[in-house]
Amino acid sequence: MRKLLFILVLVALALPSFGQTTVTGEVFDSLSLKPVPNAAVTLMRDGKTVSFARSGADGRFEVRAKTGDRVQVTCLGYMKKSVTITEGQKIEVSLTQKAFMLKEVQVKGTPVFGRQDTIVFDLKRYAGQRDNSLKDVLKKLPGVDVDKNGKITFNGKDITRFTVEDLDLTGGRYNQLTEALKARDVDKAEVVEHDQPVKALQGKVFTDDVAMNIKLRPEARDKWMFTLRPEVVVGFPLKKTRPQGGADALQIGKRRQWMYSADYDQSGKDLSRNDRVLATGGMSAYGAGTSVPGWFSAPTLTSPIDEERVRFNRSVNVTAKNTRKTKGGSEQRVTAGYLHTDEEQQTGNTSVYYFDGRDPVQTDETDRSRMKTDRIYVDFNHNTNTQRAYGNEYFSLTGTLTDGYSTFTGAEGNDVRQRVKLPEIQAQNTFTRLLTRDRHSWTVYSTLDFHYAPQEMTVDGQTQKLNNILYYADNYALLTLNRKFLTHRYTIGVTAEHLNLQGGHTALTVYGRPTWEYKRMKTVLRLAVPVNWKILTERGEHYLDASPLLYANIKSGRRGEWTLSSGYNMSTGSFSDYAVGSYMSDYRTQVVRSGIVPRQGTFHAGFSYDYKRPVTELFMSFGANYNYNHGNVMTDMTITDGQYLLETVANDWHGQAVSAKALVSKGFFDIHLKTKLELNYAYATGQQLSEGSVTNYASNVYSASPEIVFSPSFGTFTYRATFSLNKMKTDEMGQNSLLDWTQHLAYTQTVGKVDISIAAVHYRNELQSAGVINTLLADAGVVWRLKKVRLSADVRNLFNKRRYTVTNYSGVMSSTNYYELRPREVILTAQVSI
């Protein structure tokens, strides 16, 4: 009887455990998507507490539970969250950060702070009354830089993904958005290093990408913001006065975003920047296709200084962008735009070539060009991104017409007229699907790309035509296996290209890309061995290329990390190397292709160290790279009476390059000061073939670029400079050097609601044959800030300088160029916010 009673007690005690299984879960930060360690996990059943657990250093935890139970997760600094358990599914808990109060006293943090790989800047504290746009505020952030095209970098690395309220409204064309968003409407900027936008691959596939997300103030979300910018460009004489301006409408929410804009400019601005893709991070389809070879040299605007000073233009740009999240969690984006540019430029060039065993060869040219471009595009992107699956469907259609007119004048004073027409229609569709199952995932990818580009060049009435029809397809399958600390990735695919030009040309490439990645604690090691087998069908040729790569990323403490890489890259030439045997690329250059397919190999090695200490606003990086290149085909250059003959021939060559870079950015928020210093060094050797004789050359370039931005309440002081020393040496010419510098100084004084600015830039250039030339350009402006109106008047080129001259070294060539500058102008603007 006692034995029976004992057995019944054991069964009664065991009944609650029937139906229970061990459930695993992971806790991660909703912002950085990084694991949250030491989070408290409480298992609840029917409203009662059953057991407790804590997340480990990797954010993972285990509990004994059954279907219908709930886990409640709490952690200091985060909002509490509960999740219902479903049998057979891993628990994924996304915690949202929260602010908190201590005894009625608000905790006021620093303007910039970091957690793991995420840096958060409090934009409200950096924005000042003089700042007009988000871009103005970003330029003040330590470690963040914005270049003249609007591209954003953090600690020397390009931003690869740019979002606002976690949505990508622009599809990587974010320059216009950073100008349209007003400084008063932004709240925070979140910078995520090692960004992995595909949720199913987070914690599995390591990246070096950097993302930036902008948070708006609550009162600015979901409301329409309208801006009108009527402008007048006052010329001298006054009959050259002309109108311009723009308008935009913007609505930014967490689930739906819109942006419409229209601009008309005659003051030198490059409106094509609005359509330029600056960020292509993640599994985006941008850049997935191919491009048509450029046979003819169409005129393009070139400038070693601010392009607005040399561009004479009439430009129109209209864009429409929309993105939204569906109820199912997917994201859809539609982007469309039209660009018309009519630009003019006048330049002059004197080039001297130093070939071995001969006297220097000189060519002279004056170029008066007019460039007209019309481009219309529309693209659609549908994205599904969950913890278990990823899908992306991308379609784009683009039509472009480029028409360039040039009048060239040589040393003898004779004029040659050239016209290049480059129309093109492109259609691209890219499809990506990724499915994950616990420790493995499958990816299927397909891209189809079509180009129709009938290119035409006419020189003094004689016309060449090269009609290009290009088909491109790329398809692959990828298997990813996760085994504790080791991730295996195996890709197999095929690429097919067909160019219809003077006959048919087809290239097939079968490739495999095995990759092994080891990740544990603070160390990531990766070995990749891509192998390509390229077949040129009509030529009956095939080539095998292997490009092994060894990569390591090692975190040093909490603030620094080392990145090291080394490998060997092999590549085979393309259609442009053999599809057309002989043609004129411009009025004085004949290109002759021997039909030999070039092969090139590159050994490369490099390292970098990145350090960040957000609390003290200190960011720095340094690194060095080495490349050794070799190949089997060279271009033999012959210059006769100012005419160029470029002929490819079989000839082995080699060259090497060494570069080093150091960057330090330090902010002092209490005194509104940002400082930066960038140092660069580059060394390169190479060979130039001319009339069968090889000339060796070497170059050394040293540069230093300091920057200071001081912006107290009463004004803003900005100093930027670049000092460079360029040395060149060839077999025929001894060491030559050029010491150049550019110094930019600007000051803005605030008096009440009025800002008065003066800016000057000094160029000091050494010319090859004319000593030193100094150029001083200056601008001035005044802004009157009202509640919803911003009135401004800017004077450009105060001293009415009309020419800029500079000498550059490249290989065996010394080139001196001059550029015509825009005259003195006054731009009157009224910005109205509605």
pLDDT tens across 162-178, in order? Answer: 999 999 999 899 999 99
Lowest mean pLDDT among 83-97, 436-450, 472-486, 785-799: 83-97
**Whole-number Å distance between alpha carbons of 672 and 710:** 6
Q: Is beta strand 589-592 parallel, antiparallel or unpaired with respect to 643-668?
A: parallel
Residue 8: pLDDT over 90: no
Q: Which of 268, 246, 272 is nearest to 259 (CA)?
A: 246
Q: Tell me the per-residue pLDDT of 521-573, one tens digit each, with 9 for 90 and over.
A: 889 999 999 999 999 999 999 999 999 999 999 998 888 999 999 999 999 99
Residue 285: predicted pLDDT: 63
Structure-token pair, residue 146: 């914005």
Residue 387: predicted pLDDT: 85
Question: 68 — alpha (psi -120 to 50), left (phi > 0) or beta?
Answer: left
**Whole-number Å distance between alpha carbons of 779 and 798:** 6
Residue 301: pLDDT over 70: yes
Instruction: Please count the CA atoms within 13 angstroms of the CA of 719 that sit on its side-chain side.
Output: 7
Q: Is beta strand 415-437 parallel, antiparallel or unpaired with respect to 224-234?
A: unpaired
Residue 611: predicted pLDDT: 95
Burial classification of residue 595, based on how many CB atoms lie within 10 Å of its CB (0-12 exposed, 13-18 middle, 19 or more buried): exposed
Amino acid at 590: Q
Model confidence at 618, pLDDT cuts 50, 70, 90, reads very high
Q: Tell me the per-residue pLDDT of 330-343, one tens digit each, with 9 for 90 and over.
A: 999 999 999 999 99
**Whole-number Å distance between alpha carbons of 399 and 381:** 18
Please, what's the b/e burial string for 362-399 (b: 16 or more CB within 10 A of its CB; e: otherwise)? ebebbbbbbbbbbbebebbbebbbeeeebbbbbbbbbb
Give the bridge partners for 382, in sequence order: 332, 393
Instruction: Name the pTM for this structure.
Output: 0.84
DSSP class of 272? G
Residues 6 or more apart whose Cβ sits within 8 Å of residue 437: none
Residue 9: pLDDT over 60: no
To 10 degrees, the CA torsion angle through 430, 436, 440, 446?
-10
123: three-class secondary structure by DSSP:
helix
Q: Phi and psi at residue 577, in whole multiples of 5°?
A: -85, -15
In contact, 501 and 466? CB cutoff 8 Å: yes
DSSP sequence for 330-397: -EEEEEEEEEEEEEEEEEEEEEEE--TTS--EEEEEEEEEEEEEEEEEEEEEEEEE-SSEEEEEEEEE
Q: Which of 828, 830, 803, 827 is nearest to 817 (CA)?
A: 803
Q: Which of 754, 821, 832 is nearest to 793 (CA)?
A: 754
In contact, 339 and 356? CB cutoff 8 Å: no
Q: Tell me the per-residue pLDDT of 765-778, one tens digit each, with 9 for 90 and over.
A: 999 877 899 999 99
Residue 262: predicted pLDDT: 98
Lowest mean pLDDT among 108-122, 241-255, 288-302: 108-122
To 10 degrees, the CA torsion angle through 382, 385, 386, 391?
60
The residue that leads in pLDDT, 207 or 759, is 759
**Cα-based angle 185, 189, 195 (whole degrees, multiple of 5):** 145
**Whole-number Å distance between alpha carbons of 615 and 613:** 6
Average pLDDT on 616-639 reads: 96
**Whole-number Å distance between alpha carbons of 523 and 539:** 47
Q: Which residue is associated with the tokens 């690429």?
A: 495
239: three-class secondary structure by DSSP:
helix
Model confidence at 32, pLDDT cuts 50, 70, 90, reads low
Q: Tell me the per-residue pLDDT of 646-700, one tens digit each, with 9 for 90 and over.
A: 999 999 999 999 999 999 999 999 999 999 999 999 999 999 999 999 999 999 9
831: three-class secondary structure by DSSP:
strand
Average pLDDT on 480-509 reads: 95
**Cα-based angle 402, 404, 408 (whole degrees, multiple of 5):** 160
Residue 102: predicted pLDDT: 38
149: three-class secondary structure by DSSP:
coil
Q: Which of 760, 745, 763, 759 is nearest to 805 (CA)?
A: 763
Residue 14: predicted pLDDT: 41
Residue 17: predicted pLDDT: 42
512: three-class secondary structure by DSSP:
strand
Q: Considering all CA atoms of the chain, what is the largest pairwise distance in Å, rounded to the nearest integer?
A: 124
> How crowded is residue 22: how many other Cβ atoms within 10 Å of its Cβ?
8
**Whole-number Å distance between alpha carbons of 248 and 834:** 11
Residue 64: predicted pLDDT: 80
In contact, 653 and 628? CB cutoff 8 Å: no
Residue 15: predicted pLDDT: 39
Structure-token pair, residue 29: 């930060």
Residue 101: predicted pLDDT: 40
Q: CA separation (Å) from 354 to 351, 581, 682, 768, 771? A: 10, 28, 21, 13, 20
**Whole-number Å distance between alpha carbons of 224 and 175:** 20
